[in-house]
């Protein structure tokens, strides 16, 4: 579903954002991507979703090259950034309708899916409110809803649990499990290591722009906790 081969990103000032990154995410995976701040997680993720150009290596989504097929890849990917920036002047429902119109989600499926996920995230009574009045957690919920109603094949999530209350976090974890059980794949960065250990079947650890551990969760952590492994590699 997602193939990253020999990826390297160098910024104009010469700073290396990530290098020698090789990751394969297949259908059914919930793949954790962990590392210290500034280690290359967001650089890699933004390159996968087409928000950053890169000079070296290859990234394919469902067999399509993100450089030569950017629009087709974006149709397959559902991306949740680390900052929930949306159009503040729109109401929640207007934003969802806008996203659905871009991605061709039509009635009656559109209404069914909006209702389904708005209820699961407990925002159905807030869809008529301008997004400018939403809290950080509410913005995260509306972005999650806008991605899920599109029914993408691959979810790319950058710190998706930040700002969510405990109930919404539990709901998101359940949705992630359902998504991969139904053939989807998830690649997500997080600092919440205990959640990643319980939720994910695979993990990659990046430090100073390079992958230093990669494999199934059991292979990487062995008889230790993921937190212990992560701290030992710091």
Block mean pLDDT (10 aa), the chain, length 234:
97 95 98 95 96 95 97 96 88 97 96 97 97 95 97 96 94 98 97 94 96 96 93 81
Of 27, 67, 69, the C-alpha closest to 47 is 67
φ, ψ at 200 (rounded to 5°): -100, 145
Q: What Cα–Cα distance (Å) separates residue 113 from each residue in 73, 87, 109, 136?
A: 22, 21, 6, 23
Domain for residue 118, yes or no?
A: no
Give CA–CA dist 206/169, Å, rounded.
25
Predicted structure pTM score: 0.95
Domain for residue 191, yes or no?
A: yes
The pLDDT score that the predictor gives to residue 154 is 98
Q: What is the pLDDT of residues 218-232, one digit of tens each?
A: 999 999 999 999 998
Domain for residue 30, yes or no?
A: yes
User: What is residue 25's three-state secondary structure?
Assistant: strand
Enclosing domain of residue 157? 2-84+153-232
User: What is residue 64's three-state secondary structure?
Assistant: strand
What tokens does 193 get? 């290591």
The pLDDT score that the predictor gives to residue 47 is 97
The pLDDT score that the predictor gives to residue 234 is 63
Domain for residue 166, yes or no?
A: yes
What tokens does 1 get? 């579903």
Check: CB of residue 168 under 8 Å from CB of residue 123: no
Domain for residue 184, yes or no?
A: yes
The pLDDT score that the predictor gives to residue 83 is 84
Domain for residue 122, yes or no?
A: no
Domain for residue 107, yes or no?
A: no
Domain for residue 11, yes or no?
A: yes
CATH number at residue 188: 3.40.50.300
Structural domain count, the chain:
1
Q: What is the pLDDT of residues 95-119, one digit of tens each?
A: 999 999 999 999 999 999 999 999 9
């Amino acid at each position: 579903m997602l193939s990253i081969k020999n990826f390297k990103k160098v910024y104009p000032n010469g700073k290396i954002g990530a290098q020698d990154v090789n990751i394969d995410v297949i259908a059914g995976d919930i793949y954790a991507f962990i590392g210290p701040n500034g280690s290359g997680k967001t650089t890699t993720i933004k390159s996968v979703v087409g928000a950053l150009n890169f000079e070296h290596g290859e990234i394919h989504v469902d067999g399509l090259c993100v450089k030569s097929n950017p629009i087709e890849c974006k149709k397959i990917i559902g991306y949740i950034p680390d900052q929930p920036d949306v159009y503040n002047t729109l109401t929640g429902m207007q934003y969802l309708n806008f996203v659905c119109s871009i991605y061709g989600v039509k009635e009656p499926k559109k209404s069914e899916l909006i209702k389904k996920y708005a209820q699961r995230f407990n925002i159905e009574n807030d869809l008529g409110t301008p997004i400018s009045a939403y809290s950080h957690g509410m913005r995260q919920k509306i972005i999650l809803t806008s991605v899920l109603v599109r029914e993408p094949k691959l979810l790319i999530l950058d710190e998706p649990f930040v700002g969510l209350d405990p109930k919404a976090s539990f709901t998101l974890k359940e949705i992630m499990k359902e998504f991969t059980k139904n053939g989807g794949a998830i690649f997500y960065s997080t600092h919440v290591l205990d959640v990643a250990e319980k939720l994910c079947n695979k993990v990659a650890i990046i430090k100073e722009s390079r992958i230093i551990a990669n494999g199934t969760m059991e292979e990487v952590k062995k008889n230790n906790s993921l937190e212990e492994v992560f701290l030992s590699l710091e």
